[in-house]
Amino acid sequence: MIEENRRVLLGMSGGTDSSVAAMRLLEAGYEVTGITFRFYELNDSTEYLEDARSLAERLGIRHITYDARDVFRKQIIEYFVQEYMEGRTPVPCTLCNNYLKWPLLTKVADEMGVFYIATGHYVQKAKLEDTYYITYAADPDKDQSFFLWGLKQDILRRILLPMGNITKVEARVWAAERGFQKVATKKDSIGVCFCPMDYRSFLKEWLVRNGQLRSENVSHWSENVSCWSEMVRRGRFVDEKGDFIGWHEGYPFYTIGQRRGLGIHLNRPVFVKEIYPEKNEVVLSSLSALEKTEMQLKDWNLVNPQKILGYNDVIVKIRYRKQENHCTVTVTPDNLLHVQLHEPLTAIAAGQAAAFYRDGLLLGGGIIVNAR
């Protein structure tokens, strides 16, 4: 085990948050090394690398890069595509944080003899009775605790979170007051890093490159049935009884709870209720038909089971923002987490993540297998 020291390895993306994190760590007296992971380069742009290097040089700290593009493709992008192909809704940012980014930071820090690891995440950390927990950020609009439910004690004990106790507005002011105007005015990143806008465009391009969707006339893919492979092709929208409603453009391009972009016009609002890849069918229903009162989770992690199992005041979130429901959590005989919701919740999709909170502490989470 590495002995605790004042050295910290900071993940630097080139953005405002990790840049300000570097400044705050330096001013707190830490010896900072910045590391930039090459996970995915949208449109082959490496501007983020140059920004991180330039900032590190200006701050007088060491900076290194780590090429993780191959492992990112295998663990995150291929998983992302496969989940949609199997009719589920993936959570790439959650998997990346819990199983790639933070473990890689720890690995490199170990090799360097550095004890602490840090990022620009907007979360805080607390220690209660020798157990470390992630807690909400001071800025509720930027809180990123939802993505970190899988981190275990060996990582949590070494984490520094310099952005957790300030808001994004304060972070920009912090940079501007120290003369880092470019850092202060950088735009926020939106969405998943490798498909920041609509995932469907990314998925279509991926399928073309990998031979699952032929490229001819792909710009008019919804109008030309001949461009589809056997795996992704036009299919049937049906109601809950299985009766035909209309045609869809391929089941992977729809998610549970979706209302907009269905391409059909009825005299009532309808939502995606179920997706059946084997039949290439998408079931549409009213919103009330999507209500569920329980779900089961796999691949779960509980920071401290004694603080969550059986309690009636646990909060569960299945979305990053603006959603939380009370629930009771138990473990099933087949080692799944059973989540009994106290109020019905709509648009629960297999493949999504669920995160649990109680008394302001992030207590764990898992991946949704099913809901009813």
Residue 37 in marked binding region: yes
Give the three-state DSSP class for 248.
strand
Residue 364 in marked binding region: no
Residue 271 in marked binding region: no
Residue 17 in marked binding region: yes
Q: Are 313 and 326 in contact (CB under 8 A)?
A: yes
Task: State the sign of the Cα–Cα–Cα–Cα dihedral 251, 255, 256, 260.
Answer: negative
Measure the CA–CA gap between 78 and 86, rounded to whole angstroms.
12
Q: How far is CA 150 from the centre of its chain?
A: 12
Is residue 195 annotated as a catalytic residue, yes or no? no
Residue 201 in marked binding region: no
Residue 54 in marked binding region: no
Phi, psi (degrees; rounded to nearest 5) at 261: 75, 15
Is residue 193 annotated as a catalytic residue, yes or no? yes
Identified catalytic residue from 193, 195, 227, 327: 193
Residue 141 in marked binding region: no
Closest CA to 79 of 351, 371, 354: 351
Residue 12 in marked binding region: yes
Strand order in the sheet with 116-118: 62-67, 31-38, 7-11, 116-118, 159-160
Residue 16 in marked binding region: yes
Measure the CA–CA gap between 207 and 231, rounded to whole angstroms.
10
Residue 263 in marked binding region: no
Give kind and range of the element (H or E) at residue 170: helix 168-177
Give the three-state DSSP class for 221.
coil
Identified catalytic residue from 96, 195, 227, 327: 96
Measure the CA–CA gap between 226 and 145, rounded to whole angstroms.
45
Annotated binding site for ATP: 11-18, 37, 120
- Which positions are catalytic? 96, 193
Annotated binding site: 11-18, 37, 120
